Chain A
């Protein structure tokens, strides 16, 4: 049975949270990190609310696996901040959504 859009959004949000933890040492970007969590969290939730029960598009689950692996490989806090902007965009593209 194929996975749902909601399940993949949950995984994207978990990977996003992991990046936020990696980025935490950059204390002078605290506000920006909080802002990113607010706006991207809301965008991902909106997609989950609207399409959560749909089967995920072909290839989206493998895309999320690759995204999770990439997020887990990032140890530099500054790069993690950059990826907090990129990861949601890539996840949304895999799900056929605009950013």
Chain B
């Protein structure tokens, strides 16, 4: 099993600019340190219609209401910063915001994994016996000897599709056939309950036991800690 750089196609060249956008990096940094409710705020706002921060503060009383941390508290400041960054993403227009959201989930995954292990890489292919196991590169990989990982990242549960599951399963089986081990999984910035029903419908012949699912409520598990 060998990890290698993916050859960039036209889409990848364009997408690389979005991945490097300061807004993507800022949002990912904030969310990596965030709580589950703060991440839920980001999901709602980035996918929402309203551009009014007052509307969103009302929707999340545990972050901004009477019982929330006071103004000036670092947790409250992070909530405000996540709200501001999320509104900036939502303001980008439908197609662009969709690309930004995907890039943010990938960058967040990279940051959380890096808190637990190394080296963590982006957009990588995996070769078995010199042959690539898939057409598309994996979003985030951990390239540690004997403890490799390959993650595909999705903004929502609807991104869980049969071809994605097959690709991950192929990589896992390819590693096993070589006598090695590769942890494969999906990181989905959506509710676990929604991801699970989607996964069951889309799995086909793929054995779900070999596939990790990390949903919005459990993102901290990527970093090796319990959800906050």
Contacts and interface: CB of A to CB of B under 8 A. Distances in A.
B55 A69 contact: yes
A23 to B, nearest CB: 11
Interface in B96-117: none
A79 interface: yes
A65 B58 contact: yes
Contacts of A79: 47, 49
Interface in B57-75: 58-62, 65-67
B158 A59 contact: no
Interface in B7-54: 37, 40, 43-44, 47-50
Interface string B184-216: 000000111110111001000000000000001
B218 to A, nearest CB: 11
Given A89-B191, A99-B193, A70 B50 contact: yes
A74 interface: yes
Contacts of B216: 89
A47 interface: no
Interface in A65-99: 65-67, 69-70, 73-74, 79, 81-86, 88-90, 93-94, 96, 98-99
Nearest to B37: A93
A98 B227 CA distance: 11
B217 interface: yes
Contact of B47 (A43, A69, A86): A86
Contacts of B192: 99
B157 interface: yes
B58 A36 contact: no
Contacts of B3: none
B43 to A, nearest CB: 6
**Which range holds the interface residue count of chain A?**
35 or more
B58 A62 contact: yes
B59 A66 contact: yes
B201 A82 contact: no
A90 B191 CA distance: 10
Contacts of B60: 63, 90, 93-94
Contact of A70 (B55, B67, B190): B55
B156 interface: yes
Contacts of A62: 58, 61, 65
A61 to B, nearest CB: 9
Contacts of B67: 57-59
Contact of A58 (B43, B49, B65, B196): B65
Interface of B: 37, 40, 43-44, 47-50, 55-56, 58-62, 65-67, 156-158, 190-194, 196-198, 201, 216-217
9 contacts: A35-B197, A66-B59, A70-B44, A70-B50, A85-B193, A85-B194, A86-B43, A86-B47, A99-B217
Given A32-B157, A32-B201, A89-B216, 11 more contacts: A29-B158, A31-B201, A39-B194, A40-B193, A58-B61, A58-B67, A59-B67, A82-B190, A85-B193, A86-B190, A94-B59
